[in-house]
């Protein structure tokens, strides 16, 4: 290797000297002193030779095994190639916690749950998100105890550019902000969900399909958006207590149509966002003889700011959903025992929440305490099974042990028209990770 280097250097040197001397450069046996002009020319030629030698040495060092640096670069390159599949770009996040619920008309009980979230960056543009919800389960009579496990998220995203991320799979639908940003145990200010966003609510949570989300600046503000096509909700047709309402828990389409939806959010200032959402879907299953369309709309806002005048952090947020299901006749023959029953099912509901945390207080315990008040409401058509209005006021206190772990205690004052009021004492310890 050294011999090749010396040979290359010698060839460069010979070529440089040949270039520097004219063709008739055979020097006479006797030569007088050189002029200043000739000296400067020789000096310039020597600098060219040095530079070319340096280039040859650099080329030689870059050859495989030519130097320790080349070997190290080769090793790093191999490690980088082995990492392309994502072995070193996996993050496990999520939340966990336990609760105590003492609700009027039910046995008080403890429960617990875990929701791990797998985030995998396959490369600079391809991302994977997967989530599982695990919770303890008992039927109302306390029989068949066990653990209930649900696949909550499983989607792949591709970063198209700075303004668009596209993907598909099972994902949190960009309808409103509660289910996509706020429903984790440690980000929810209270131990339970608002009525309209709960298990029997009117707001979609996750669904299977394709989506595109992103954001772009507009004159000092930011506009964010989300559009999607999914399997959509399913119209409940055979349940005497829920006919006419929508189920958002389906994992496959029950007809040959898809739901189409979008949300647009506007952020004029970093502390405030407002948004509008819409979803249209053909909801009836193929087994139902009538075509029934559903239209969902929602507005939302979120405000969070540290205000020196009040010595702490003020949070105000809210969301309201309107759900309209076309007129249809359920159990037309009376075979299910509750029909024939004809109505259009219009429901609405949402919540408003305000919270204050004296985060600038000198007392450490006080600065970790947050005071919360929420109002939520759900109203259904009086003609629909289970129709009527339920509303709740829920004051609560949160104590933040760390930025991602919190103790919560709250009391719900429930007012249900046509049913029993179900006030409840709630306690929760939640951790985000």
- Regarding whether 101 and 62 lie in a shared domain, the answer is no
Element (H, E) at 282: strand 272-282
pLDDT of residue 61: 61
- Regarding whether 103 and 7 lie in a shared domain, the answer is no
pLDDT of residue 280: 97
Does residue 154 form part of some domain?
no
Q: How far is CA 429 from CA 231, 243, 383, 407, 410, in A?
A: 35, 36, 40, 5, 12
β-strands 312-330, 293-307 pairing: antiparallel
Does residue 366 form part of some domain?
yes
- Regarding whether 415 and 355 lie in a shared domain, the answer is yes
Q: Can you give the pTM of this predicted structure? A: 0.77
- Alpha-carbon distance of 162 to 168, in angstroms, equals 19
Does residue 340 form part of some domain?
yes
pLDDT of residue 9: 42
**Residues 318 and 351: beta-carbon distance below 8 Å:** yes
**Residues 174 and 180: beta-carbon distance below 8 Å:** yes
Does residue 168 form part of some domain?
no
Does residue 420 form part of some domain?
yes
Bridge partners, residue 158, by sequence:
126, 166
Does residue 124 form part of some domain?
no
- Regarding whether 220 and 324 lie in a shared domain, the answer is yes
- Regarding whether 215 and 77 lie in a shared domain, the answer is no
Total structural domains in the chain?
2
Does residue 64 form part of some domain?
yes
> Is residue 30 helix, strand or coil?
coil
> How many other C-beta atoms lie within 10 A of the C-beta of residue 149?
12
What DSSP letter does each residue of 325-363 carry, written as one string?
EEEEEESTTSTTSS--EEEEEEEEEEEEEEEEE-TT-SS
- Alpha-carbon distance of 190 to 353, in angstroms, equals 10
pLDDT tens sequence for the chain (433 residues): 444 443 344 443 344 444 434 444 444 444 556 677 776 777 777 778 777 767 766 666 666 555 566 666 667 666 665 555 545 589 999 999 999 999 998 899 999 999 999 999 999 899 999 999 998 876 656 566 778 899 999 999 999 999 999 999 999 999 999 999 999 999 999 999 999 999 889 999 999 999 999 999 999 999 999 999 999 999 999 888 889 999 998 678 888 899 999 999 999 999 999 999 999 999 999 999 999 999 999 999 999 999 999 999 999 999 999 999 999 999 998 888 888 999 999 999 999 999 999 999 999 999 999 999 999 999 988 878 878 899 999 999 999 999 999 999 999 999 987 667 899 999 999 999 9
In the numeric block, the tokens 């949402």 are attached to 350
- Regarding whether 187 and 244 lie in a shared domain, the answer is yes
Q: How far is CA 367 from CA 195, 361, 362, in A?
A: 30, 5, 7
What DSSP letter does each residue of 203-232 carry, written as one string?
S--EEEEEEEEEEEEETTEEEEEEEEEE--
In the numeric block, the tokens 């599949």 are attached to 85
Does residue 21 form part of some domain?
no
**231: domain range?**
95-111+173-432
């Amino acid at each position: 290797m050294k011999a090749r280097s010396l040979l290359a250097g010698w060839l460069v040197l010979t070529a440089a000297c040949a270039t520097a001397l004219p063709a008739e450069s055979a020097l006479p046996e006797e030569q007088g002193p050189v002029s200043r002009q000739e000296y400067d020319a020789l000096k310039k030629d020597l600098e060219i030779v040095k530079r070319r030698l340096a280039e040859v040495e650099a080329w030689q060092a870059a050859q495989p095994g030519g130097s320790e640096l080349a070997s190290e670069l080769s090793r790093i390159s191999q490690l980088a190639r082995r990492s392309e599949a994502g072995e070193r770009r996996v993050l496990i996040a999520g939340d966990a916690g336990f609760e105590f619920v003492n609700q009027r008309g039910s046995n008080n009980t403890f429960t617990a749950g875990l929701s791990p979230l797998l985030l995998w960056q396959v490369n600079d543009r391809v991302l994977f998100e997967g989530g599982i919800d695990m919770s303890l389960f008992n039927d109302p009579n306390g029989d068949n105890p066990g653990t209930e496990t649900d696949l909550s998220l499983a989607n792949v995203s591709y970063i198209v550019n700075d303004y668009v991320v596209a993907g598909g799979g099972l994902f949190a639908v960009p309808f409103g902000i509660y289910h996509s940003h706020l429903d984790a145990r440690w980000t929810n200010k209270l131990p339970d969900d608002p009525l309209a966003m709960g298990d029997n609510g009117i707001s979609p949570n996750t669904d299977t399909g394709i989506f595109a989300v992103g954001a772009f600046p507009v004159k000092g503000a930011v506009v964010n958006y989300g559009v999607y096509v999914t399997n959509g909700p399913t119209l409940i047709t055979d349940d005497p207590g829920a006919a006419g309402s929508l189920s958002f828990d389906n994992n496959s389409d029950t007809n040959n149509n898809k739901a189409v939806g979008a949300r647009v959010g506007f952020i004029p200032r970093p502390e405030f966002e407002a948004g509008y959402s819409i979803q249209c879907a053909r909801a009836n299953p193929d087994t139902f003889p009538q075509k029934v369309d559903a239209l969902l709309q929602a507005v939302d806002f979120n405000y969070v700011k540290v205000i020196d005048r009040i010595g702490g952090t003020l949070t105000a947020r809210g969301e309201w959903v309107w759900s309209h299901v076309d007129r249809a006749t359920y159990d037309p023959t009376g075979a299910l025992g509750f029909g024939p029953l004809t109505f259009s099912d219009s429901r609405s509901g949402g919540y408003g929440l305000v919270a204050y945390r004296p985060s600038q207080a000198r007392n450490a315990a006080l600065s970790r305490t947050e005071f919360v008040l929420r109002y939520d409401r759900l109203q259904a058509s009086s003609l629909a099974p289970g129709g009527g209005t339920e509303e709740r006021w829920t004051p609560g206190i949160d104590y933040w042990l760390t930025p991602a772990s919190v103790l919560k205690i709250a009391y719900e004052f429930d007012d249900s028209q046509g049913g029993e009021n179900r006030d409840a004492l709630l306690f929760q310890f939640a951790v985000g990770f």
